[in-house]
Structures are given as structure tokens and as C-alpha cells.
Amino acid sequence: MSFLRFVGTILFLVAIFAASNAQLSATFYDSTCPNVTSIVRGVMDQRQRTDARAGAKIIRLHFHDCFVNGCDGSILLDTDGTQTEKDAAPNVGAGGFDIVDDIKTALENVCPGVVSCADILSLASEIGVALAEGPSWQVLFGRKNSLTANRSEANSDIPSPFETPAVMTPLFTNKGMDLTDLVAQSGAHTFGRARCGTFEQRLFNFSGSGNPDPTVDATFLQTLQGICPQGGNNGNTFTNLDISTPNDFDNDYFTNLQNNQGLLQTDQELFSTSGSATIAIVNRYAGSQTQFFDDFVSSMIKLGNISPLTGTNGEIRTDCKRVN
């Protein structure tokens, strides 16, 4: 391909992306479903009162959705066993689908066939963070839902809890995000829980060494070994991602990393990987919750803009679990 043709192709793709994003708007539902925000907030508030993990569950679904074919609600589909993203390795055990169903039912009762499932994930993520004392931001709307899922891309493009920054970085840059986004998005682990299976490889035989991960604080290690004993039946055992303020959205996640108390390997590696550019960002957020909140908001807006289906593309599902 000639250089001029290459440049022309890039400019064309940029123009298509910009045109697609231009269709997302904060006022998209003003005439068709003006109460969309209050309806979603009502459901999220009720669910978060009985399940402290509600906000964390929803924001995880939003992130995992947008990293596969863009923000199109594909993660919510119950399709045949060869395609459903719910059965992809990074999504096994994911929660929050019932919360989405409750929100969709509430919206369908007021403005049927109007609000997309992808927009529900975006809005409910913002509300879930705000309800946990985190930042608020203006959510843009207008995404449509996909007609298919992509299980293979879910397996390849969603970060696992066992990776280093070197592995994580290209997964983000491939989506138009950078190191700041990587660290800011990881900060969503300031609330929610994780199963033993996502971190117990650090507790007893890290990387086949026969010893625990040396980056785990000794006291924290003993606590985790008690929660997830070696050889125990730990499949449904959870513990807090943030040991200090587990239900609050704040910057304690980053001070935990400085203290070698990050739960997941991918979390602690952001601070403990020698020479990584992520260390400075962790230190910046640990020292300034305002800076973390500002960057997190910018990153969430960027996340919600990954390849949305808009206009005549896709559909508005009446049931988020299946195509119309």
C-alpha cells in the first residue's frame, strides 16, 4: 500500500469514527424518554441498598462489553453456546445481568422500545459510581445493540487478572486508550469483590516457584491464605478488592498498591513492576483523589465511545438477553 493511500485510509477511518461518535448526545432521550436517568437511578439505588457489589458488577459489564466489538450490549446476549460472551473465560461468574434486566423492565414500562441495553450499561455505571461516593459525569446516549456476540474476541481482548503492564498495555492501546486509561480504569477495583480463583495463584505457588508472590504484604498474605486456604473449596468464596474502604469509590485502591496490598496480580503489578511507567500514575492518584476522579471520568467517557453502533446500525432490544 502506498503512503498516500495509507494516509487516506486512516483519515477515512477517523472520519467514520468521528461521525459515529457525533451521534452520541447527552440529550438523545430528552423527547423520547425524558425520565431515563431517574428511572435507572431508582433501580440502582434500590439494588445497591441490598447488594453493595451492584455498582461494581455493572461497571465490569460495561467495561467487558465495550472491549468486545465496542459498546453494543453484546455481553448481555444469551445466544447459542458457540457465541455467547457470557461463557468466555473473562466473563465466567460475572454478575449484574439481573440488575440490567430490572432496569430494562422499568424502562420498557415507561418508554417501550426506546432505550438501548448498551446505554443502560453506560448510565448505570455512572450512577453506580456516584452512589458509592465517587464522581459523576455527563453520560452520552444513542448507542444501539448488536445482533450478535463475539466469544472469541471476549477471550482475546478482555484483560485477565493475571497480567503484567506489558501484556495489558496493548489491550488498551488497541482500543484507542493509553497508560493513563489503564491505571484509571483499574481504579474501579476500589469497590467490589473478587473470587479466590482470580488471585489464589499468588498465595502459595506463584509462577511455579513453590512460594507466594513476593510482592504481597506479609500480613495481607496471611489474611488471604485464611480466606482462600490451599486445596480448599474456594470456588464461591469472595473477598474485597479494596481492604480499607471496600464499598466506597475513592483512591484507597492506589495507596493499597503502595502498601503491597493489591488483591489481583494485575493490580499490584501496576506499582511493583520495576521501571513501569504506571508507577508514577499510581503515585499521582494515591496522592490526589481529585486527580484520580478527573482522569477516571475522562477515561469512562472515552470507554463509552469505543465503536458504538448508532443510527440505522443495530437495534433497540426489548429484552437485553436476546435480539428482537
Specify the residue for cell string 454478575.
Answer: 95
| Structural contact between residues 47 and 131, judged by C-beta atoms closer than 8 angstroms | no
% of the chain with per-residue pLDDT over 70: 92
Distance CA 70, CA 63 (A): 10
Q: Which residues are catalytic?
A: 64
Same domain, 31 and 102: yes
Which residues constitute the domain of residue 80? 24-156
pLDDT for res 267: 98
Same domain, 190 and 292: yes
Same domain, 36 and 148: yes
Same domain, 163 and 152: no
Same domain, 49 and 174: no
Binding residues for Ca(2+): 65, 68, 70, 72, 74, 85, 190, 242, 245, 250
Same domain, 145 and 177: no
Q: For residue 131, what is the domain's CATH number?
A: 1.10.520.10
| Structural contact between residues 165 and 276, judged by C-beta atoms closer than 8 angstroms | yes
> How many independent structural domains does the chain possess?
2
Confidence of residue 80 (pLDDT cuts 50, 70, 90): low
Same domain, 122 and 186: no
| Structural contact between residues 69 and 147, judged by C-beta atoms closer than 8 angstroms | no
Binding residues for heme b: 189
pLDDT for res 233: 80
Distance CA 158, CA 63 (A): 9
- pLDDT tens-digit readout, 139-179: 999 999 999 999 999 999 999 999 999 999 999 999 999 99
Binding residues for substrate: 159
Same domain, 110 and 35: yes
Name the least confident of 36-50, 61-75, 234-248.
Answer: 234-248
Q: Kindly report the pTM of this predicted structure.
A: 0.91
Same domain, 163 and 297: yes
Task: Indicate whether 292 belongs to any domain.
Answer: yes
